[in-house]
Structure 1
Amino acid sequence: MSTTREPVGTPDTSTGEVVDPDYPVTPVPQHARKSFFSVAVVLLGFTVFTPTMLAGASLGPAFTFGNLLLVIAVGSLVLGVYVAAMGYVGARTGLTTVVMARYTLGTRGAKLASILLGGTQIGWYGVVVGTIGELTAQAFDWTSYGARAAVMVVTSVLMCATAYYGYKGMYWVSLISTPLILVLAFWVLARSLQEVGGWAGLADIAPTTSMAFAVAVTTVVGTFVSAGTQAPNWTRFARSGKQAVWACAIGFLVGNGLMVFLGAVGALTFGVGDFVLVLFQLGLVGWGLVLLFGNLWKSNADTAYAFGVAGAELFDKPSKAPFVVAGSVLGTVLALTGVHTHLVDYLVLLGTFIPPLGGVIIGDWVMRWRGGIPEGHTPPGLQWHAIAAYAVAAALAWTSGEVGIGIPPVIGIVSAVVLVVVLGRVVPGTRTGAAAR
């Protein structure tokens, strides 16, 4: 199939199928790569996400200000390094996470990755759509279910349309909304500091709750570790691995860490972490809604894009568009049935079972593909050693959370990397990549 620049909806004359200029199942060619600024804007727009503040709100009252900064720094560093590694692989291969999984898990094994990543992102899409409906109803004191449902449907249509137009649509939404959101966030930060007498007053606030350091770091890592696993969906447009690493650092180390910090400050000064609710408390309902819609619109468009490319891989189709639409409809139905009321349990599930998948992909790339994927190479149907590595690493991450030892996402990632490298060296017939030559 041709990979030349063709508009959405243009059929390939050789196959009759729609050509998608976002290349959901093929490597992004060099002529379609984007500038560093463009990739950084998209990733920063992805992570400047107000619900992340709720994680910070749980941390703020549990630590002194100095220890709070240490928790956020350590958690953000772990998250940033992991996502940067995933982003680097995405830029080098030009492939989405789910298509990269074909070379790691096999063409049939990759369907597990598509179902896992695409399915969980549909659920997250529903969580965000439901949150918009509930917060809008709270702003206007609506009690009618119909009013909340109408808001959910309308906002879902906007998000779906943005993702339908792909990378370009997400870039422009992020470019316009992210600066406005950051201006509002820093303005609320200034008001928060006024409430407590500046930075010195903030530092004097004594903890009122308790939380183990490891649990706190896990909370920071868990905010975006699942979405970060799909960073290659966007970094594959970067012109080099170095640009991808820096773009991931800006988005996941700086952007996500900032949102956790702002949520912690909001909880310490106003009693709520989400700055949308702070603006509501200050009587600035209009600006609160601007922050709410602008922020969640761009972030959920990225989510719709993620399950769109996962669907394209799952069904071996060259276009993400029908899967963006179908997933958005399903996510909206979930929102209308109240999926957002189970947010905490859902985040724990994501943070446990998705990071090991990224660890397997990273480890396999280091062992076999760092010299490049040979042209014309066809992966086998199943790579049992990689599937076993994922299963064991996921079990270790889950056990870590159950017994309260260590940081589950970190244990899942590290154990997956080690296991896939070790198994790949001892299982016959697995060292077939360019790196093994």
Structure 2
Amino acid sequence: MKNPADSPNNGLFQKTLNEIETVGVLPVPDAERTMTSGKLMIVWLMASASAMTPLIGLLLFHFGMTDMILAILVSWLISFIPAGLFSEMGREVPLTGLIVARKTYGRVGAFLFAVLFTFVNMGWFGLNTAVAGEVLNAIFHATGSFWFWVIGAAQVILVLFGMKWLEYFYRYTSVLLLLCYGALTWYLFTHFHITTPHATTAMQWGTAISTVVSFSILAWTYKLSTVSRFCVPKSSNTGNARYFLAPSIGIMLAVLLMGIVGMDAQQATGNWNVALLGPHIPVWGLAAALGVALAIIHTNAMNLYPSTVDLLVALNTLRKSTRWEQPVATIILGILSTVLAVLGILNHVSNFLDAIGDVIVPFTFIMLVDWLWVQRRRTPAEAFFTHPEKPEDWMNWPSIVAFAAGLAFSLWGARLAPDLFATVLPLPVVGGLVSAVIYALWRVRPSRVNPVTQGKKAV
């Protein structure tokens, strides 16, 4: 008699379970490190091409089109080196950034940042889900939270299958996303009077660049190694420059193109959200809805996925990892983040974006100094899981003090020279540089020998 466990349905179920990602915070096996630079760029291009990305056109509307474009380009010039270095970190040691942060901030410090960034990514997930829910409500003439939950559930299911299937999804839906937003842009330019928005106020470079980097590239930077750990290892010496540039180009190209569309939509219709034109487009309205859904899923997958991994870093501080904790954490965080969308997190977007830049930039810059000039890129993957033996392994006070100084500067530095930080210098970036310099002066020595040891007890 045939064993029911051998039935085709059970085989399919088992294959599906096997595709669910369970690597958690452990080093990615070499057999799974196959992502190329082109695929890496598509991942970040699609992740950055959110239905919310055209909002940058509203945030910088009063500066006009020309200065907005220049602000985006300058933001890329400021940020592509930190972004490239952080992405390369994942190719050098196949771990998520907050595991590497254990050597920079100590085990307790990394735990606290992991908890914080779990909530930051939940906030981004909620923001984007709220935008999608409102747009789909408008397109289908609906009310309530039904579409919020549909989008939330779709994202959770996708993230359960991890980076392998996320990359497939981004690659094979990228053309469809471009067609959908192309249709929306075509409708905008053929049915409304478009004139290039001009500046209505003097350009404030510090304010504009701070908005762009906090909205886009520096908000993503610490997450880059979470993806690049699946890339071809750097030791292969294959196209290293392409891998270095791919994430920043992908992120900022989406910001540039969708920012232009958002500013034109704001000028022509009084609303930056070009997707709201969907209900007015015969036949193409459904395509517009599909495009919005894709844009949200693309971006929010890259919010929920790091949020899950960050939470696992925190949990791994307290106990050993278990196989199924990654999918369980994904489901729980996806539900909680969708609740944030339903409760109206979109109403607090400005304060949320400001807080992100103030915290993430100093954190990231200190990590880069530590990785490049203290650890000197020599720390083996297993060393990040060894049992802390010295007080500084639990809490690295030089990095904590440097972070606090940079954060304080970001919060209150404008009081020292308000005109300078409004019109010339981006305050979050300067705050990050303050942190980096303090940490470098404290920890970096020309004759310093790498202190990393491999410890004997794994946590």
Asked if TM exceeds 0.5, the reply is yes
* Offset at residue 305 of structure 1 (A): 0.7
Say which SS state the counterpart of residue 35 (structure 1) adopts.
coil
* Offset at residue 26 of structure 1 (A): 2.2
* Offset at residue 115 of structure 1 (A): 1.0
Of 143, 150, 155, which residue of structure 2 is paired with 1:154? 150
Say which SS state the counterpart of residue 272 (structure 1) adopts.
coil
Q: Distance in 2 between matches of 1:195 and 1:207?
A: 24
Residues 273-292 of structure 1 deviation map (CA, whole Å, 9 limit, x = unaligned): 22212444556532321121
Q: Aligned ranges for residues 23-422 of structure 1 at < 5 Å?
A: 23-36=23-36, 37-63=38-64, 65-143=65-143, 148-194=144-190, 202=196, 205-209=197-201, 211-224=203-216, 225-241=218-234, 242=240, 243-282=242-281, 284-316=284-316, 317-318=321-322, 319-374=325-380, 376-377=382-383, 378=386, 380-400=393-413, 403=418, 405=421, 406-422=425-441
Q: Distance in 2 between matches of 1:430 and 1:349?
A: 36
8 A Cα contact 1:57 1:265, kept in partner: no
CA RMSD of aligned residues (A): 2.9
**CA gap 1:375/1:335 in 2 versus in 1, 3 angstroms:** closer
**CA gap 1:139/1:187 in 2 versus in 1, 3 angstroms:** closer
Moved more, 240-249 or 292-301: 240-249
Moved more, 189-198 or 311-320: 189-198
Q: Distance in 2 between matches of 1:375 and 1:294?
A: 35
Q: Distance in 1 between matches of 2:128 and 2:400?
A: 31
Moved more, 324-333 or 68-77: 68-77
Matched AA of 2:311:
G
Moved more, 185-194 or 333-342: 185-194
Residues 15-53 of structure 1 deviation map (CA, whole Å, 9 limit, x = unaligned): xxxx98563322223221123133222222211112111
Matched AA of 2:112:
L
Q: Distance in 2 between matches of 1:25 and 1:171?
A: 19
8 A Cα contact 1:352 1:398, kept in partner: yes
Matched with 2:9 is none
8 A Cα contact 1:41 1:174, kept in partner: yes
**CA gap 1:337/1:196 in 2 versus in 1, 3 angstroms:** closer
Matched AA of 1:29:
P
* Offset at residue 321 of structure 1 (A): 1.6
**CA gap 1:22/1:257 in 2 versus in 1, 3 angstroms:** farther
8 A Cα contact 2:50 2:128, kept in partner: no
The number of aligned residues is: 411
Q: Distance in 2 between matches of 1:50 and 1:430?
A: 48
Residues 41-66 of structure 1 deviation map (CA, whole Å, 9 limit, x = unaligned): 22222111121111122324422x43
Structure 2: any 5+ residue segments left out of the alignment? 1-13, 235-239, 454-459
Task: With the length of structure 1 as denominator, give the TM-score of the two structures.
Answer: 0.85
**Radius of gyration: which is bigger?**
2
* Offset at residue 376 of structure 1 (A): 5.0
Say which SS state the counterpart of residue 320 (structure 1) adopts.
helix
Q: Distance in 2 between matches of 1:253 and 1:211?
A: 21
8 A Cα contact 1:53 1:261, kept in partner: yes
8 A Cα contact 1:356 1:393, kept in partner: yes
Q: Distance in 2 between matches of 1:181 and 1:340?
A: 23
Say which SS state the counterpart of residue 229 (structure 1) adopts.
helix
Q: Distance in 2 between matches of 1:327 and 1:275?
A: 29
Percent pairwise identity: 21
Residues 57-103 of structure 1 deviation map (CA, whole Å, 9 limit, x = unaligned): 2324422x433321221123323333222112222121111111112
Residues 162-182 of structure 1 deviation map (CA, whole Å, 9 limit, x = unaligned): 111110231122123322222
Task: With the length of structure 2 as denominator, give the TM-score of the two structures.
Answer: 0.81
**CA gap 1:130/1:68 in 2 versus in 1, 3 angstroms:** closer
8 A Cα contact 1:61 1:207, kept in partner: yes
Residues 321-379 of structure 1 deviation map (CA, whole Å, 9 limit, x = unaligned): 22111111211222222222211211111121112111111111011233421465345
8 A Cα contact 1:389 1:420, kept in partner: yes
Q: Distance in 1 between matches of 2:53 and 2:381?
A: 41
**CA gap 1:179/1:400 in 2 versus in 1, 3 angstroms:** farther
**CA gap 1:395/1:25 in 2 versus in 1, 3 angstroms:** same
Residues 141-163 of structure 1 deviation map (CA, whole Å, 9 limit, x = unaligned): 334xxxx3222222211111111
Moved more, 336-345 or 106-115: 336-345
Structure 1: any 5+ residue segments left out of the alignment? 1-5, 11-18
